C-alpha cells in the first residue's frame, strides 16, 4: 500500500509518501515540503491571517497533485499546534476543504505526544525499557513517557520554538532581562507537570524528535543527515549549555552558518535551545538520544496497525 501523510505543522507543510510492506517498517518513497510558517501568520486576535490561509491552501492543492502523481491510494491529513490554537481554525480548514477537497483533521496536543511516543517506541523497541520522549515543534512542546506502546502520560505545552521566537524575538534582539523572563517561563511551565513523568521513576532511555532537536544535536557535534538515519545521534546537556551563550550572541547570518541550521529557522534556535536545556535539567537527563521517527511515522504506524498491514 502506498500512503500519503500530509502534516501541517506550525513551521512546515510536509507530504510524506510511504510504502507499507508486510513485516517491514514503512518505507519512505517521496517527500514534498514547503515552509508555511503558520505560527507566524497569526494576527493580534490569534487568527490565521489571509496570507497564511492562502499559503496553506496552495500547499495542500499542490500536495494532492504530488500524491496522485506518486500513486498514493490514500492520504491522511492532519494539523498541529498553529491551526489547533488559532481562533479561526474551523473557517481555515473549511476553506481548504472547499478549495482542495482535503479534509484536514486537527490533532490534540495529547494525541500529538501519544503518536510521537508510538513512533519512538517502535524505533528503539522494547529494549528501551521505560521511555521518555520530548518533541519541540513550532508551536508546542510534547512530553510523553511509559513502558508500553501507548504512553502512561502524555501532554503538550505552548513552548514551541516558533511561538517563543514570535513572542520574544520578533523585533530587536532580546535583552538580558527578556531572556531571563523567557527562561523562567519555560522552566515554570515544564516543572508544573513534571511529576507526571517523574513519579514513575527515572526513564531507562530518553529520546527527542523534531527539527529543533536535530539542529541542536548537529551544532553540538552529532553526525549530519547525509550519514543516514541509523547513525546514533545524541544531544548532551553539558555541551548544549556551553553553546547557549554563544548562540545568544550570534547574528542571524552567523547562526545560519552553523551545521544543521537553515536560514529560515535561525530565529528559533535560541528559544528552542532554552526549551531543550530546561527539559534535560528538570528531568535530570544527561543527554537525549535523537530519534529519526516522529509524529508522521506515528500517524502512519497507527493507521497501518488499524489495517493490519504490518501483521501480514
Joined grid coordinates for residue 180:
531571563
Joined grid coordinates for residue 101:
477537497
Bridge partners (DSSP) of residue 157 are: 141
| CA proximity to 11, closest of 61, 55, 46, 45 | 55
Give domain 109-295's CATH superfamily. Answer: Exopolyphosphatase. Domain 2 (3.30.420.150)
CB 253 within 8 A of CB 308: no
- pLDDT score of 7 more than 60: yes
Q: pLDDT per residue over 183-223, tens digit each?
A: 999 999 999 999 999 998 889 999 999 999 999 999 999 99
Q: pLDDT per residue over 75-120, tens digit each?
A: 999 999 999 999 999 999 999 999 999 999 999 999 999 999 999 9
Joined grid coordinates for residue 297:
511515522
- pLDDT score of 6 more than 50: yes
Domain range annotation of the chain: 2-106, 109-295
Residues contacting 213, CB < 8 A, separation 6+? 134, 135, 136, 235, 272, 276, 288, 290
Same fold, 2-106 and 109-295: yes
- Residue in the structure block whose three cell numbers are 492520504: 75
Determine the average pLDDT of the residues in 262-268: 91
- pLDDT score of 32 more than 60: yes
- Which fold does the domain 2-106 belong to in CATH? Nucleotidyltransferase; domain 5 (3.30.420)
DSSP line for 35-46? ---GGGSB-TTS
Amino acid at each position: 500500500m502506498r500512503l500519503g501523510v500530509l502534516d501541517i505543522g506550525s513551521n512546515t507543510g510536509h507530504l510524506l509518501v510511504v510504502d507499507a510492506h508486510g513485516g517491514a517498517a514503512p518505507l519512505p518513497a517521496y517527500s514534498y515540503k514547503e515552509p508555511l510558517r503558520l505560527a507566524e501568520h497569526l494576527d493580534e486576535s490569534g487568527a490565521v491571517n489571509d496570507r497564511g490561509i492562502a499559503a496553506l491552501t496552495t500547499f495542500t492543492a499542490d500536495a494532492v497533485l504530488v500524491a496522485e502523481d506518486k500513486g498514493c491510494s490514500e492520504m491522511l491529513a492532519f494539523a498541529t499546534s498553529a491551526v489547533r490554537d488559532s481562533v479561526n481554525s474551523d473557517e481555515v480548514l473549511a476553506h481548504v476543504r472547499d478549495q482542495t477537497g482535503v479534509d484536514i483533521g486537527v490533532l490534540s496536543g495529547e494525541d500529538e505526544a501519544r503518536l510521537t511516543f508510538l513512533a519512538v517506541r517502535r524505533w528503539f523497541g522494547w529494549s528501551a525499557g521505560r521511555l521518555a520522549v520530548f518533541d519541540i515543534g513550532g508551536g508546542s512542546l510534547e512530553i510523553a513517557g511509559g513502558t508500553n506502546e501507548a504512553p502512561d502520560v502524555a501532554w503538550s505545552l505552548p513552548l514551541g520554538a516558533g511561538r517563543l521566537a514570535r513572542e520574544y524575538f520578533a523585533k530587536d534582539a532580546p535583552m538580558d532581562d527578556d531572556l531571563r523572563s523567557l527562561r523562567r517561563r519555560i522552566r515554570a511551565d515544564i516543572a508544573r507537570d513534571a511529576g507526571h513523568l517523574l513519579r514513575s521513576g527515572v526513564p531507562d532511555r530518553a529520546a527527542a524528535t523534531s527539527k529543533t532537536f536535530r539542529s541542536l544535536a548537529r551544532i553540538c557535534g552529532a553526525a549530519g543527515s547525509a550519514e543516514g538515519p541509523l547513525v546514533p545521534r545524541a544531544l548532551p546537556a553539558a555541551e548544549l549549555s556551553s553553546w547557549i551563550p554563544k548562540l545568544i550572541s550570534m547574528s542571524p547570518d552567523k547562526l545560519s552558518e552553523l551545521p544543521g541550521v537553515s536560514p529560515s529557522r535561525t530565529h528559533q534556535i535560541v528559544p528552542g535551545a532554552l526549551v531543550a536545556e530546561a527539559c534535560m535539567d528538570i528531568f535530570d537527563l544527561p543527554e537525549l538520544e535523537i530519534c529519526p521517527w516522529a509524529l508522521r511515522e506515528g500517524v502512519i504506524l497507527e493507521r497501518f496497525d488499524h489495517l493490519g498491514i504490518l501483521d501480514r
